Amino acid sequence: MQKLFNKSVLILLCAVMVLSACLTGCKSNVPNFPVPLSDTTRSAFELSTKGYKDTELEKIYQFMLDDDIDAKKLHEKYEIQCLRKEDDGYSVRYVGNTKLLVLRFDDKGNWEKTDRLHSLYRVTETRGKFDALKEGDDVAKVQTADPTCYFPFLADSSSAYLRTDHYTQDGYHTIILYDNSFHITSVTSELM
């Protein structure tokens, strides 16, 4: 009888451990969004079946400002076709004629409000323009490669945002980080 009792307790203990492991270690990291993450082998250009005029991108951005908008409400009004995971959250991308609207959200689907210049980017030529840039280069070399880019730290010397984002017609997002002397510390590219 004692052996049967020990065996039952052991089985019950194993079942509790397995269930506990699943509940704590098997959490889903799917974001709280009305759409799944986009295919990472295709750019935002390829994923977007609805093209927007640049003026419509401005309207989408204004829509976000007008009310307490989350990802679900955004999707209801303007279908989300490109959702990407980023280091500190998620981004939704809308493609225009010459611009790209990038809206960043936390993992709960709440918009991380940023100013217009950190949301609306001009699409520049190709990723190849950034191939010559390397660590240690001055910001002036980046300005030559992408003269339409917004450089927040040059516009406002108190800005701690030492990063520029460059989106290209061939579907890439190039991120350039700078030190306090405005020299490049890293250049990385990923599919937009």
DSSP line for 83-97: EEEETTEEEEEEE-S
Ranges assigned E (strand) in the chain: 83-86, 89-95, 99-105, 120-124, 163-168, 172-178, 184-191
Q: Cα separation of 57 and 175, whole Å? A: 22
R_g over Cα of the chain: 23
What is the distance between the terminal CA atoms of the chain, rounded to a whole angstrom? Answer: 66
Q: Residues 93, 82: contact at Cβ < 8 Å? A: yes
**Structure letter (DSSP) for residue 142:** H
**Per-residue pLDDT tens for 67-85?**
778 899 999 999 999 999 9
| Domain residue ranges of the chain, discontinuous segments joined by + | 30-123, 125-192
**Per-residue pLDDT tens for 142-189?**
999 999 888 888 888 777 779 999 999 999 999 999 999 999 999 999
**Per-residue pLDDT tens for 119-150?**
999 998 888 889 999 999 999 999 999 998 88
